[in-house]
Structure 1
Amino acid sequence: MAKRSSVKQRATDGINPRQPCPCGSGKRYKACHGVSGGPVELPVARPLEGLAGECELIALREFVPSATAPLALAEPAEREITLATVLPMASAALVRADGSALIGLQVQTRSSDVSRDMARALRWALEASPGAVLPVVGPETDESPERERFQDLVDTSAPVEPTLHPDFSWWMPEGEEPTGDVALSLERANQAIMPTERIGPAAYWVDAGDRAHLRWVRPEPEEKLLLALARLSARGELGLGEGSRYAGSFRAHGLLVPVWDLDHDSHAREWTEPAAELGTRLEAALESLESEPLTSEERRARDGLIGRQVTIR
């Protein structure tokens, strides 16, 4: 009886215990966030919403292997803060001997809101002593509704301008050689890196070994973007030209990331112009949705696109 009452208590706000969990896990609510002893708070669906650099941040957090980007804060600070995809030992943050700090994006999260985890790492980086390392973001103790979020600490209007690196040599300050666990971590990271180039805003060419991909984080609401993609698909305009194929899409932090398979023998720069042209067609398709509903053929194309989606939490 205790388990039943727990499920019933958690099935609030109209959530049916037998329906898919709103967190996107694919499990039923009663077997996920509605389970007895499970987390009460559902994950924030779009934690980085409101940031001008939202799409770039998602790319850096989810699939760009080695990159850094300066972070613009809401208030002036004595310390320079740099965002990084991965830090030594997968640390959440570190402060170098010169006082500059780096925030790791590809780290394990501890709360239902990625933005709050990032804010806690940033707050730590602003206050920690030189030479300190934050292995992981610790458990959250502040349960107030006004908990500090990443958007509270940074300039939300500032774009994120990443610099991509071919390896992780930037981990070490100039003239300093890695030793011990850091050296081992650096060696392993360099061995696992996939060549990646940015060929447009939040659009990344990735060499996955046997094939190449374009992964493009889009800012539009998922439903509207799917309609525009379906319109292009029905017209035969969804590719990037010869040697390309639309592969599907995945969801990451509330946004949709369309993916194209690309000819592995073509250089990344050869896809820059086709990607820009596709972006122009996509913008036109999005605009046309205001006055032209989908045709039956376009609706069938939309259903096919929906069948090729997955979710990354």
Structure 2
Amino acid sequence: AADRAVRRPAGARTATPARPRTVIDFVERPFEGMAVERELVAMREILPLATLAARTTAEHGGCDVVLTTILPSMAGALCRADGVLLVAAQTVTNSGDASLDIAARIQAGLGLRPGEAFQVPGQPDPGPRLQDVLDPEGFGRLELHEQPTFWMTEEEASEPDNRQSLESARERLVPMKEVPGVEGAFWCRMNREFVRWVRPEPRDAVLDGLARLRASGDFSFDGSRFVGAFRALGLTIPVWELQRGAEAEELAGPMADFAPKLEAAIASDGPLTAEEKRARAGIVSRQVTLR
């Protein structure tokens, strides 16, 4: 009959309504206003192994934390056996706001016990961002690493099996170094040598500055060749191909001499000439967005 009761099979459960997917607004320049914006962009986008010591605000416990590029199994946070909290800038799951993502991992990590890891289940709910969670006076210096030794205590890293794993990881990584004395400049060796220079200025100003130098012909240092630029979290990262075999230390002087020219070109607010506009269009056409 039409009015007959419909019975559920024994043991059947009532379905739980699916949780609505949280919408996180996209933030083009998520680390804007932070003194370590360049470092965070580099860690999130171009560096394979790097760490940055930080401290949470008093409101969030006043705890020491080490921001890292990646962690084992792409974990979001890891509490080492000695209690040191590591928090990853790079994970598999991310929202449209990298600052919110990392802040959420820090908050989750603060509840970990030694030896525990936090796997990111999905994008976070709206909440505090890095600008709210981290003490602006609590940052250390960016450190680049050849091996992920920071994942372990010194005792663990000295174990034979771990030493072998660390050496294997080193062999698989693209070698990268900071250019001494040139903030935001990172040398790397792939099939050739390159330098990537994370610029802190607004992106349009950087593109204008690059265009001015390209049109003038004064666009090189130490025999380098400009090959393009990355768009990365609201900043521009120009890239130069270097002379074959060039080392990071050899760039210190030439890049230090070139830096004032680049900074002056970026700071100039005059309109671009027709030739400079053509140069800018060429640079923009070769930009690559890092995601």
Q: Identify whether the pair has TM-score above 0.5, normalized to the shorter chain.
A: yes
For residues 162 and 92 of structure 2, the distance between their equivalents in structure 1, rounded to whole angstroms, comes to: 19
Deviations 1:160-184 (A, max 9, x none): 62111222233221122589x9889
For residues 213 and 140 of structure 2, the distance between their equivalents in structure 1, rounded to whole angstroms, comes to: 29
Which structure has the larger Rg? 2
Deviations 1:93-136 (A, max 9, x none): 111222211111121233221111101110122222222111x3
| 1:217 aligned onto 2:198 | yes
- Contact 2:81-2:153 within 8 A present in 1 as well: no
Partner of 1:56: 39
For residues 125 and 40 of structure 1, the distance between their equivalents in structure 2, rounded to whole angstroms, comes to: 23
Scaled by the length of structure 2, the TM-score of the pair is 0.83
After TM superposition, the structure 1 stretch with the greater mean CA deviation from structure 2, 232-241 or 68-77, is: 68-77
| 1:138 aligned onto 2:121 | yes
Partner of 2:110: 126
Structure 1, unpaired ranges of 5+: 1-36
Partner of 1:108: 92
Secondary structure of 1:240's aligned partner: coil
Q: CA deviation at 1:157?
A: 5.7
After TM superposition, the structure 1 stretch with the greater mean CA deviation from structure 2, 226-235 or 269-278, is: 269-278
Partner of 2:221: 240
- Contact 1:91-1:133 within 8 A present in 2 as well: yes
For these two proteins, the number of residue pairs brought into alignment is: 269
Structure 2, unpaired ranges of 5+: 1-19
Correspondence for 1:70 among 53, 71, 77:
53
For residues 245 and 36 of structure 2, the distance between their equivalents in structure 1, rounded to whole angstroms, comes to: 31
Matched residue type, 1:112: G
Identity in percent = 40
For residues 160 and 203 of structure 1, the distance between their equivalents in structure 2, rounded to whole angstroms, comes to: 18
For residues 178 and 232 of structure 2, the distance between their equivalents in structure 1, rounded to whole angstroms, comes to: 18
Question: In structure 2, do the counterparts of structure 1 residues 39 and 133 end up closer, same or farther at CA, with 3 Å as the change threshold?
Answer: closer
Scaled by the length of structure 1, the TM-score of the pair is 0.78
RMSD of aligned Cα (Å): 2.7
Correspondence for 1:301 among 279, 287, 290:
279
Q: CA deviation at 1:78?
A: 6.3
Secondary structure of 2:221's aligned partner: coil
Partner of 2:78: 94
Partner of 1:203: 185
Correspondence for 1:262 among 234, 239, 242:
242
Secondary structure of 1:176's aligned partner: helix
- Contact 2:71-2:88 within 8 A present in 1 as well: yes
Partner of 1:43: 26
